[in-house]
Amino acid sequence: MPVVIVDCAIYHEGRREDVPGGLGDAFTRARADPDAFIWIGLHEPSTSEFDLVAKEFDLHPLAVEDAVHAHQRPKLERYGDSLFAVLKTLRYVESTSDIETGEIMLFLGEGFVLTVRHGGGSPLGAIRARLEGDKKMLALGPSAVLYAICDEVVDTYEAIAREVEADIAEVEQRVFSPERTNDAESIYALKREVIEFRRAVLPLVEPMRLLTNAGLPEIHPETRPFFRDVSDHVLRVSGDVAAFDDLLTSVLNANLAQVSVRQNEDMRRISAWVAIVAVPTMVAGIYGMNFDHMPELRWRFGYPLVILVMVVACTALYRLFRRSGWL
């Protein structure tokens, strides 16, 4: 069994049966029993490694290329008698508020489901274990596996949406706080994360709609209500992400406006102090001229009067600027 295969088992009427032989024998056994299917899980296979599996299941070369090289948009496509689905996995990093992305590709056909995972997020071991504990659901076949994975991925989206919402509220509070901070960089970084989030969620709306409404033979009729529930969650998260993007745009504009207002306030303060200092400078400049015929120069109260004029003028200007909000 290739090293890249994380897990492989046959499921007969919801019960797990391990595969002692090769993939060909396992697939033949699963195909021979209409109540059984094989589930193979792989992690980041190379082209040569995946070719071994692709030949056994007669997978389309274009789908194989997408599964190996990854970096695909969420989508649902038909190749011959099998379905190919791509899901974006997300993981929220608490320490940096970053959103890390990965991918899960699924091939569904008669008697088999093949999962290919890229990235470190969203391991499928817990999903497989949970499904194996629900034999009634697992007995519905490969579409039950697709539903369980979609449900887990979308549940993660909802959890990340709550984290992003909290981050936006924190940034919004900082922007409108009395502290003189410029949060444009952090707002822009958060907006980039929301865009990455949107790229994962928005394209998934149409595939979920197809799984809910279309008469796909690979999808068991009893699983369609479950897909409908997941589709509703995707629509809700998609709306939340769009609202986050709009809100961050508004917060960024508000932050820039706040910075502009603070700069105007600084300029007004500087202008006010320049005006206040200009008064004594002007008076001192006049009386510093070398003229003899200035009667105030020989008046005994001339000097105190000039000082008094400076103080009164500066005080009057200061009070005027304070009243008008310039100081």
Each residue's pLDDT tens digit, 242-268 = 999 999 888 888 877 777 767 676 677
Instruction: Encode pLDDT of 205-231 as tens digits.
Output: 999 999 987 678 888 999 999 999 999
Mean pLDDT (whole number) for 113-132: 86
Per the prediction, the chain carries an average pLDDT of 83
pLDDT band, very low/low/confident/very high, at 180 (cuts 50, 70, 90): low
Mean pLDDT (whole number) for 61-67: 91
E strand segments, 25-170:
36-43, 75-79, 82-93, 98-109, 112-118
d(CA 37, CA 141): 7
For residue 144, the model assigns a pLDDT of 94
Mean pLDDT (whole number) for 57-63: 89
For residue 2, the model assigns a pLDDT of 45
For residue 326, the model assigns a pLDDT of 57
For residue 239, the model assigns a pLDDT of 94
Q: Please report the domains of the chain, with CATH numbers, ordered by start residue.
A: 5-159+182-258 (3.30.460.20), 262-324 (1.20.58.340)
Contacts of 109 (CB under 8 A, 6+ apart): 57, 81, 82, 83, 142, 218
Please identify which residue in the block is written with the tokens 């009070």. Answer: 319
For residue 53, the model assigns a pLDDT of 84
